Amino acid sequence: MSFISDVVKYSRLAFNLRGFLSSTINVEESKQTVTAGLRNRERNLLNLVQKGIYQNPKSPYTKLLQMAGCEYGDMESLVNKEGIEATLKKLLAEGVYLSWEEFKGKKEVVRGGRHFQFRETDFDNPFLVSHFEASSSASRSAGTRVMMNLDRFSYQANHAAVAFAARGILGSPILLWMPILPSGAGLVAVLWAAKMSNLPRRWFSPVEARAIKPALAKRLATYYVVYASRLFGAAFPKPEYLSLEQAHKVTDCLAEILKEGRGCVLWTFANSAVRVCQAARERQLELSGVTFILGGEPLTPAKMKEIRAAGAKALNLYVAVEVGLIGFGCAGQTVASDDVHHCKDLHAVIQHRRETSPGGMSVDAFLFTSLLPKAPKILLNVESGDHGVIETRHCGCQLEELGLTDHIYSIRSFDKLTGEGMTFVGTDILRIIEEVLPVKFGGTSADYQMVEEEDEQGYTSLSLSVSPEVGAIDEGELIKTILSELRKGKDTQRMMAEIWSQAKMLRVKRQRPFVTAAGKLLPLHIQKRKTS
């Protein structure tokens, strides 16, 4: 990006930020906005498809739709007659969909004897004004750049307000421990909070500005927004660097705020929340009144257990960089730690069965379709790399009352980890890392991480990182434990345990788990292939 285009972009950002901050939302209006979005789903989809696909010769989907013999008129009558999801399923059956690999441009698209190759940027929404850019922290790829638009966050703030209201935390003081750009997570949280007239008290960032390698412009964008906000009468907190080892400082700040007797919302990643709970336990601080807002990492049962043991609650947020906001945690009867209400007004989702790798496990992968004109990418039956369960269920919470009746849970990604042609999907490896190992060898779930490495020849090796803080352990016993836990599972797991043990694939490394550029710690990590 050139210097001039940066200047243009940032002056536009400043101009639009003034508009963004000039109005705030109240929960009653937010409810009406979401209800209207749900009522207009069909119209919104048709509008986006007409302008973004049928009237856009550059759109990759035109080729797929042509092949399926689906003109705009056909799509319109199908949507009006049978609804969105039924239409999407018919399109899927006709080959109108993109796998995760095809969407990322890593695999050729072959449909009905024809071959296409797309790039991820082909799917960028051509109508979107980009105010700033964020990147995903995908561990296998270099990460995806996504355009961020203020109008989109303005609209999504309505969902946040409704979800906060359902938990009774709308006016509670907010504390943030989230990274600055290029991860958009922290800035988006601040923007939503500003719309809810409830700016965070402090913004701790686990990533230091000078540690971020990308262009200076992106590094400065966070500060630009912070200072611009002050000109427009809303004092965004200035990010303060606080590494993941300094959870006790967040806990101290929490303790101060809790003295006011209004509770506290701590917006962070699930792994950081576990660290805060640990620090609170060491200080004998009771965290009742604290609600963690968690996104970006899977909220696993083990993490939820640690949060509850500290007396705190958690509101889960399901976001994918390419898709945007997907769901907010259920406030009623949940069936899983990561049970969210799908924000159906933003996009549609259906599922299809696919293999995770040739001959690998099968999963019910999500396929997303954008409904709103501010979507960062125009998606039409595109896999997000995640799989899980979708169901319509009665839970009794306010989000259901609004009409957000579909739940998504047990969300896992299937593009993350494979070893020797076997895959971890559907295995117990997460449970072993998060529950079995800490109990048997000490530490918490944040002290263990499975790392897959590929060498120059593409051979895969697996290692288990164990934080030095855990102290002395019997490494042989550790490997034996993992293998014997895997052998308790299904055929595929037993086979995997066998291959690992025969190939002596698993090693133990005494090192801190790897943290991504966006400050996330994932239980499974892929070390990129060395290219030198």
Which residues of this protein are in contact with Zn ion, per CB under 5 A? Answer: 330, 332, 395, 397, 400
165/505 with CB nearer Zn ion: 165
Count other C-beta atoms under 10 Å from residue 398's C-beta.
Answer: 18
394/528 with CB nearer Zn ion: 394
Which residues neighbour 169 within 8 Å (Cβ) at sequence distance 6 or greater? 263, 265, 291, 315
Q: Least distance in Å: CB of 401 to Zn ion?
A: 9
323/340 with CB nearer Zn ion: 340
Q: Tell me how far apart the terminal alpha carbons of the chain are, to the nearest angstrom.
A: 27
301/332 with CB nearer Zn ion: 332
315/446 with CB nearer Zn ion: 315
253/331 with CB nearer Zn ion: 331
340 vs 329: CA distance, rounded Å: 4
397/524 with CB nearer Zn ion: 397
Interhelix angle 475-487/491-502, rounded to 10 degrees, is: 150
Structure-block tokens of residue 426: 């559907």
Q: Least distance in Å: CB of 126 to Zn ion?
A: 36
Cα 233 to the center of its chain, rounded Å: 31
Structure-block tokens of residue 528: 């990129």
Q: Least distance in Å: CB of 12 to Zn ion?
A: 38
322/339 with CB nearer Zn ion: 339
The answer to whether 133 and 182 have CB atoms below 8 angstroms apart is yes
The answer to whether 75 and 46 have CB atoms below 8 angstroms apart is yes
Q: Least distance in Å: CB of 397 to Zn ion?
A: 3
Q: Least distance in Å: CB of 430 to Zn ion?
A: 24
Q: Least distance in Å: CB of 214 to Zn ion?
A: 38
Structure-block tokens of residue 314: 């958690």
Name the β-bridge partners of 363: 354
Q: Is 453 helix (H, G, I), strand (E, B) or coil?
A: strand
Q: Least distance in Å: CB of 398 to Zn ion?
A: 8
34 vs 287: CA distance, rounded Å: 32
338/400 with CB nearer Zn ion: 400
292/448 with CB nearer Zn ion: 292
79/330 with CB nearer Zn ion: 330
Rg (CA), the chain: 23
409/414 with CB nearer Zn ion: 409
DSSP letter string, 102-160 = HHTTSS-EEETTEEE---GGGGB-TTPPPSEEEE---SSSS--EEEE-HHHHHHHHHHH
Return the DSSP state at 246: G
Q: Is 492 helix (H, G, I), strand (E, B) or coil?
A: helix
Q: Least distance in Å: CB of 337 to Zn ion?
A: 14
397 vs 341: CA distance, rounded Å: 10
Q: Least distance in Å: CB of 348 to Zn ion?
A: 19
Structure-block tokens of residue 281: 């336990």
446 vs 462: CA distance, rounded Å: 18
Q: Least distance in Å: CB of 345 to Zn ion?
A: 16
The answer to whether 117 and 85 have CB atoms below 8 angstroms apart is no
Q: Least distance in Å: CB of 191 to Zn ion?
A: 25
Structure-block tokens of residue 298: 């899977």
Cα 165 to the center of its chain, rounded Å: 22
What amino acid is encoded at 206 in this protein? P
98/404 with CB nearer Zn ion: 404
Q: Least distance in Å: CB of 299 to Zn ion?
A: 15
417 vs 414: CA distance, rounded Å: 7
117 vs 105: CA distance, rounded Å: 7
Q: Least distance in Å: CB of 167 to Zn ion?
A: 11
The answer to whether 200 and 227 have CB atoms below 8 angstroms apart is no
Interior angle at CA 132, CA 129 and CA 137, nearest 5 = 125
